[in-house]
Amino acid sequence: MRTAHPVETVRAAEAELMALLPDGALMRRAAAGLAAACCSLLGKGRVYGSRVVLLVGSGDNGGDALYAGARLARRGAGVTAVLLGGRAHGAGLAALRAAGGRVTEDPYEALAAADLVLDGITGIGGRGGLRPEAVPVARAARGSDAVVVAVDLPSGVDADTGEVDGEALRADATVTFGAYKPGLLVDPAREYAGALRLVDIGLGPYLPAIPGLEALQHQDVARLLPEPGAESDKYRRGVVGVYAGSDRYRGAAVLAVAGALRGGAGAVRYLGRVGDMVVRAHPEVLVHTGPWDAAGRVQAWVAGPGIGEGSDPETAMGHVLAADVPVLVDADGLRHVTPGAVRERSAPTLLTPHAGEAAALLGTDRAAVEAGRLAAVRALAARYGATVLLKGSTTLVCGPGGTGPVRVNPTGTPWLATAGSGDVLSGLAGSLLAAGLDPVDAASCAAYLHGLAARRAAGAGGPITASGVADALPAAWRDIREP
């Protein structure tokens, strides 16, 4: 599991460790790791003679850049510092000068010739976006041919929330110290960070066991995915009920069922208006057309994709929410849930909104949700007392209450932004619920598999369809099982 810790936690861990070490030892560790990462980014044999520009702010983030710059200068790089704050880390500046580095008043001339730029303007002490004097310099760095490496964080992003208030520096890579910060894993900040590298400075034993954010990796998902045993039968593997589709949105039912069939449940039962079409597309589905209470055994429900509005869907959602089994509510189904109704349920509920639906549930606008995804997913989980999976460029999952660690999905591709792919995801997550995973695991494993399947479907990069994502799910599952 990859974990991220908020700034307050990182600072507390640093303080504990620093008390045991000689002055400046942590910063030297950080700078040594940073310089090593820069050497590998420049390439073997390319450090000597390379041109490195340091963008140096007024705090310790600038100190890291200066010490790393001194190391690179000692290996033969031409290192130039641009001082952007009113002051600069004194010992770091002295180290750079002693190693042969220099300070320039003309950042643009230095940047035009740079092979590597180190962004040490702000790290975890930064507040708000870049200040006006840093904006043209950051743009010139981005516009140059140099590799841009952010020190600890891209300057201008919020380390804890992933929000970007104003302008921030766009890096090709970020070398972060001691622990990932939540903002490095959550859009919009994540996009500014580029490839991530973590430098171990010995903070591990001083960090709490429960992180602010966590990202599943292959082996975590492999451990959680259900696998049939010798004694399995279709009912023991779980039956997932799907209530989806309408005369207007028929495909939503087919796609949700396609996801459900590939999620490890033993059987899929369909209720809704388009059973004929569903069974034509998926003959293995059990279609029920009678009253709700005669639907038969179901271990988890997926309800909402393409059901539309009106009294019929409202009544049906009432039946689903009354069931004493886990329920996933997606898409149109989200119009029919209230915090009170969800809180009163006897079994867990999983809500899977995209940013627009989340905004409607929170009474805000879509842009606000997209700018503050972490806050939005926590607020929804707290308000509904439910697990929430917030879809989009970064998919987040938060357990009921909103206070525990948030799971961030590390797989996926922007090619997933295609109609119907969310329906496949809801079927898949519902199937994992029926197979017995708890809602946070079901949601995060589903997002992981869905993202991998999308990458497989997209190959080297190219348009994909929701059906293509569903078709790629078994191969993604195998990739996880047998890496």
Ligand X SMILES: NC(=O)C1=CN([C@@H]2O[C@H](COP(=O)(O)OP(=O)(O)OC[C@H]3O[C@@H](n4cnc5c(N)ncnc54)[C@H](OP(=O)(O)O)[C@@H]3O)[C@@H](O)[C@H]2O)[C@@H](O)CC1
Residues that bind ligand X (CB under 6 A): 14, 18, 26-27, 30, 57-62, 64, 85, 121-128, 130-131, 134, 151-152, 177, 201
Q: 197 or 319: whose CB is closer to K ion?
A: 197
Q: Hunting for tokens 């696998």 — which residue is that?
A: 227
- Least distance in Å: CB of 214 to ligand ADP? 18
Q: 30 or 52: whose CB is closer to ligand X?
A: 30
- Least distance in Å: CB of 190 to ligand ADP? 11
Q: 176 or 387: whose CB is closer to K ion?
A: 176
Q: Are β-strands 406-408 and 396-398 bridged in parallel, bridged antiparallel, or unpaired?
A: antiparallel
Instruction: Count CA atoms within 13 Å of residue 282 on its CB side.
Output: 26
In the set 32, 222, 287, 417, which binds ligand ADP (CB under 6 A)? 417
Q: 151 or 446: whose CB is closer to K ion?
A: 151
Residue 168 near residue 154, CB atoms below 8 Å: yes
Q: Residue 125 binds what, of ligand ADP, K ion, ligand X, none (CB under 5 to 8 Å, by partner type)?
A: ligand X
Please tell me the distance from the alpha carbon of residue 176 to that of residue 392, in angstroms, as a whole number.
Answer: 25
**Which residues contribute to the annotated binding site?**
60-64, 119, 123-129, 152, 155, 252, 306, 354, 391-395, 422-423
Q: From 101-109, 228-236, 392-400, 431-439, give the range in contact with ligand ADP by CB under 6 A.
A: 392-400
Nearest Cα to 116, choosing from 168, 68, 165? 68
Q: Residue 18 binds what, of K ion, ligand X, ligand ADP, none (CB under 5 to 8 Å, by partner type)?
A: ligand X
Q: Residue 60 binds what, of K ion, ligand ADP, ligand X, none (CB under 5 to 8 Å, by partner type)?
A: ligand X
In the set 414, 461, 474, 475, which binds ligand ADP (CB under 6 A)? 414
Question: Which residues are within 8 A (CB) of 155 and not within 5 positions of it... i.e. 6 or more apart?
Answer: 55, 57, 61, 119, 120, 121, 122, 123, 126, 130, 134, 138, 168, 169
Q: Residue 119 binds what, of ligand X, ligand ADP, K ion, none (CB under 5 to 8 Å, by partner type)?
A: K ion
Q: Is 395 in the site for ligand ADP (CB under 6 A)?
A: yes
Please tell me the distance from the alpha carbon of residue 461 to that of residue 466, in angstroms, as a whole number.
Answer: 15
Q: Residue 474 binds what, of ligand ADP, K ion, ligand X, none (CB under 5 to 8 Å, by partner type)?
A: none
Q: 14 or 115: whose CB is closer to ligand X?
A: 14
Residue 309 near residue 334, CB atoms below 8 Å: no
Q: Is 262 in the site for ligand ADP (CB under 6 A)?
A: no
Positions in the binding site for K ion (CB under 5 A):
119, 150-151, 155
In the set 416, 433, 442, 472, which binds ligand ADP (CB under 6 A)? 416
DSSP string, 154-217: -TTB-TTT--B-S-----SEEEEESSB-GGGTSTTHHHHH-EEEEE--S-GGGS-SS-SEEE--
Nearest Cα to 409, choosing from 434, 429, 431, 391? 391
- Least distance in Å: CB of 146 to ligand ADP? 28
- Least distance in Å: CB of 157 to ligand X? 10
Give the Cα-Cα-Cα angle 378, 12, 215 (nearest 5 degrees): 40
**Which residues contribute to the annotated binding site for (6S)-NADPHX?**
60-64, 123-129, 152, 252, 306, 354, 423
Please tell me the distance from the alpha carbon of residue 482 to that of residue 476, in angstroms, as a whole number.
Answer: 10
Q: Is 392 in the site for ligand ADP (CB under 6 A)?
A: yes
Q: Residue 211 binds what, of K ion, ligand ADP, ligand X, none (CB under 5 to 8 Å, by partner type)?
A: none
Please tell me the distance from the alpha carbon of residue 474 to that of residue 483, in angstroms, as a whole number.
Answer: 14
Q: Hunting for tokens 């009106």 — which residue is that?
A: 310
- Least distance in Å: CB of 70 to ligand ADP? 40
Q: Residue 391 binds what, of ligand ADP, ligand X, K ion, none (CB under 5 to 8 Å, by partner type)?
A: ligand ADP
Q: Which phi and psi angles does 400 have, rounded to 5°?
A: -55, 140
Q: Which phi and psi angles does 323 have, rounded to 5°?
A: -70, 145
Q: Which 330-389 positions form the footprint of ligand ADP (CB under 6 A)? A: 331, 354
Please tell me the distance from the alpha carbon of residue 152 to that of residue 155, in angstroms, as a whole number.
Answer: 9
